[in-house]
């Protein structure tokens, strides 16, 4: 499935088909879709019509490579329901912006669900398929192959789902553009694109600058501006063995009578002096 669809809506389309189609026919359908056997397909009037190159199969009496006619359609949504859907979509900024940018809104299921509808197919009742091949099963492998290609096309153009449900893309765009937000977004999208201007070089070209007439050695080596002052190093901590002192003079693990802090302070001081001598 992932090889034919990368978007969540395309994968949902395929998942609905796979719920009621024989796995063997699905496997053959994937090979038909990837093997170039689907010669042509078009979407017109909310229905996908395709011509598929079949296989020679003496079992069905097919001794020459046939060409089959395959159709796939989704259950259409009524015009009255589409009016309610468009009113629901136009009232919110996110779905209008995404649809005008040719993207599928993430909450499209919720929008249709509030009206008791669904845009994405859910099962066999949403599909109407037909093929001229002699296979008794419907959907056959030719129908499955067309559906896999259709899922790939849905990735690039989610408006195909609306067309399959009975609403043309031009009509949807026109209705969305009537809302105040849609008018604003549509006017920005209709702005002419700025033509890119070619650059003479990928890199910044150096520009020669004239040198001063007379420069002293001091100005040459030190520059016109003074060097920043040296960064002062932070002083050494005034209280040695600060972490050790948190344990107290006689922590639980210290068995001697002498103060643990005094012993560790002396050790820290020896290490500090030794480190200075080694530099």
DSSP, residue by residue, 55-68:
--BGGGTB-S--EE
User: Percent of the chain, pLDDT > 90?
Assistant: 8
**pLDDT at residue 131, rounded to an integer:** 92
**pLDDT at residue 1, rounded to an integer:** 44
Among 151, 144, 156, residue whose Cα is nearest residue 32: 144
Q: Residue 126: is it exposed, middle or buried by C-beta count within 10 angstroms (0-12/13-18/19+)?
A: middle
What confidence tier does 69 reach under pLDDT thresholds 50, 70, 90? very high
Span 115-122, mean pLDDT?
Answer: 89
Please, how many CA atoms are within 13 Å of residue 67, restricted to the half-sphere of its CB? 6
Is the Cα torsion angle 245, 250, 253, 257 positive or negative in sign?
positive
**pLDDT at residue 228, rounded to an integer:** 67
Span 68-88, mean pLDDT?
Answer: 89
pLDDT of residue 70 exceeding 90, the answer is yes
**What six digits make up the tokens of 264?**
């560790």
Span 136-154, mean pLDDT?
Answer: 88
Render pLDDT for 213-243 as a digit per residue (tens, 0 to 9). Answer: 777 777 777 776 666 666 666 555 555 556 6
Task: Name the more confident of 190 and 20.
Answer: 20
pLDDT of residue 135 exceeding 50, the answer is yes
Residue indicated by tokens 């849609």 = 182
Distance CA 93, CA 112 (A): 16
- Find all residues with CB under 8 Å of 12, minimum gap 6, and list them: 120, 121
Task: Name the more confident of 57 and 42.
Answer: 42
Question: CA of 232: how far to CAs of 228, 229, 235, in Å?
Answer: 12, 9, 9
Span 125-135, mean pLDDT?
Answer: 89
Mean pLDDT over each residue of the chain, to the nearest integer = 80
Distance CA 83, CA 221 (A): 79
Span 64-83, mean pLDDT?
Answer: 89
- Find all residues with CB under 8 Å of 73, minimum gap 6, and list them: 46, 47, 48, 127, 128, 129, 164
- 130 DSSP β-pair partners: 71
Distance CA 203, CA 180 (A): 45
- Among 25-29, 72-76, 201-205, the range scoring the smallest mean pLDDT is 201-205
**pLDDT at residue 2, rounded to an integer:** 46
pLDDT of residue 40 exceeding 90, the answer is no
**pLDDT at residue 187, rounded to an integer:** 63
Distance CA 190, CA 175 (A): 16
Q: What is the residue extent of each domain of the chain? A: 8-189, 242-274
Task: Name the more confident of 69 and 229.
Answer: 69
User: Percent of the chain, pLDDT > 70?
Assistant: 84
> What's the whole-model pTM score?
0.59
Span 62-74, mean pLDDT?
Answer: 87
Span 135-152, mean pLDDT?
Answer: 88
Among 16, 156, 153, 167, residue whose Cα is nearest residue 82: 167
């Amino acid at each position: 499935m992932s090889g034919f669809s990368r978007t969540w809506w395309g994968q949902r389309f395929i998942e609905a088909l796979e719920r009621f189609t024989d796995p063997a026919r699905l496997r053959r359908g994937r090979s038909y879709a990837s093997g170039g056997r689907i010669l042509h397909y078009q979407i017109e009037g909310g229905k996908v019509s395709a011509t598929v190159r079949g296989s020679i199969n003496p079992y069905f009496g097919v001794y020459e490579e046939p060409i089959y006619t395959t159709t796939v359609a989704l259950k259409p949504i009524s015009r009255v329901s589409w009016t309610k859907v468009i009113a629901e979509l136009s009232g919110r900024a996110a779905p209008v912006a995404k649809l005008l940018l040719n993207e599928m809104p993430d909450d499209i299921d919720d929008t249709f669900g509030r009206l008791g509808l669904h845009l994405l197919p859910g099962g066999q009742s949403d599909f109407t398929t037909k093929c001229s091949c002699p296979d008794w099963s419907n959907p056959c492998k030719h129908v499955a192959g067309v559906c896999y290609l259709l899922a790939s096309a849905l990735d690039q153009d989610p408006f195909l789902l609306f067309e399959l449900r009975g609403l043309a893309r031009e009509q949807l765009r026109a209705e969305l553009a009537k809302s105040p937000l849609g008018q604003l977004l549509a006017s920005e999208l209709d702005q002419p694109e700025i033509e890119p201007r070619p650059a003479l070089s990928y890199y910044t070209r150096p520009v020669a600058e004239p040198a001063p007439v007379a420069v002293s050695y001091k100005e040459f080596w030190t520059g016109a501006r003074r060097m920043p002052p040296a960064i002062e190093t932070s002083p050494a901590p005034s209280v040695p063995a600060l972490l050790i002192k948190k344990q107290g003079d006689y922590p639980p693990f210290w068995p001697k009578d002498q103060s643990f802090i005094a012993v560790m302070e002396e050790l820290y001081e020896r290490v500090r002096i030794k480190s200075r001598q080694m530099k």
